[in-house]
Amino acid sequence: MADICSEFLGIRSPNPFWLASAPPTDKEYNVVRAFRAGWGGVVWKTLGEDPPIVNINGPRYGAIYGGDRRLLGFNNVELISDRPLDLNLREIKQVKRDWPDRAIVVSLMVPCEEAAWKRILPLVEDTGADGIELNFGCPHGMSERGMGSAVGQVPEYVEMVARWCKQHTRMPVIVKLTPNITDVRFPARAAKQGGADAVSLINTINSIMAIDLDRMAPSPHTDGKGTHGGFCGPAVKPIALNMVAEIARDPETQGLPISAIGGITTWRDAVEFMALGAGNVQVCTAAMAYGFRIVEDMVEGLKNWMDEKSYARLDDFVGLAVPNVTNWQYLNLNYVVKARIDQDACIKCGRCYVACEDTSHQAISNAKDGHRHFEVIDAECVGCNLCASVCPVENCITMEPMTGGTDPRTGQPVVKGYANWTTHPNNPNRVAAE
Please give the helix or strand (H or E) that residue 171 lies within, else none: none
Residue-by-residue DSSP string for 241-303: HHHHHHHHH-TTTTT--EEEESS--SHHHHHHHHHTT-SEEEE-HHHHHH-TTHHHHHHHHHH
Under 8 Å between Cβ of 136 and 121: no
Q: How confident is the model at residue 319, as a pLDDT?
A: 98
Task: Supply the pTM of this predicted model.
Answer: 0.90
Task: Name the CATH topology of 328-423.
Answer: Alpha-Beta Plaits (3.30.70)
Which residue, among 136, 97, 131, 146, has the nearest Cα to 279 in the 3D structure?
131
Under 8 Å between Cβ of 45 and 81: yes
Write out the residue limits of the CATH 3.20.20.70 domain(s) in the chain.
6-324
- Measured CA to CA, the distance from residue 61 to residue 72 in angstroms comes to 13
Which pLDDT tens digits describe the chain residue by residue (434 residues)? 899 999 999 999 999 999 999 999 999 999 999 999 999 999 999 999 977 788 888 888 899 999 889 999 999 988 899 999 999 999 999 999 999 999 999 999 999 999 999 999 999 999 999 999 999 988 887 887 888 888 999 999 999 999 999 999 999 999 999 999 999 999 999 999 999 999 999 999 999 999 999 999 998 888 888 888 899 999 999 999 999 999 999 999 999 999 999 999 999 999 999 999 999 999 999 999 999 999 999 999 999 999 999 999 999 999 999 999 999 999 988 889 999 999 999 999 999 999 999 999 999 999 999 999 999 999 999 999 999 999 999 999 999 998 655 555 556 555 443 344 444 444 444 444 33
8-state DSSP, 168: H
Q: How confident is the model at residue 413, as a pLDDT?
A: 59
Beta strand segments in 262-409, E: 280-283, 336-341, 364-368, 371-376, 397-402
- Measured CA to CA, the distance from residue 120 to residue 115 in angstroms comes to 9
Write out the residue limits of the CATH 3.30.70.20 domain(s) in the chain.
328-423
Is-cis flag, bond preceding 205, omega within 30?
no
Q: Which is catalytic among the residues 112, 138, 284, 396?
A: 138
Under 8 Å between Cβ of 212 and 218: yes
Angle, nearest 10°, between helix axes 85-98 and 114-125? 40
Architecture of domain 6-324: Alpha-Beta Barrel (3.20)
Other Cβ atoms less than 10 A from the Cβ of 370: the count is 6
- Catalytic: 5? no
Which residue, among 91, 100, 86, 126, has the nearest Cα to 11 in the 3D structure?
100
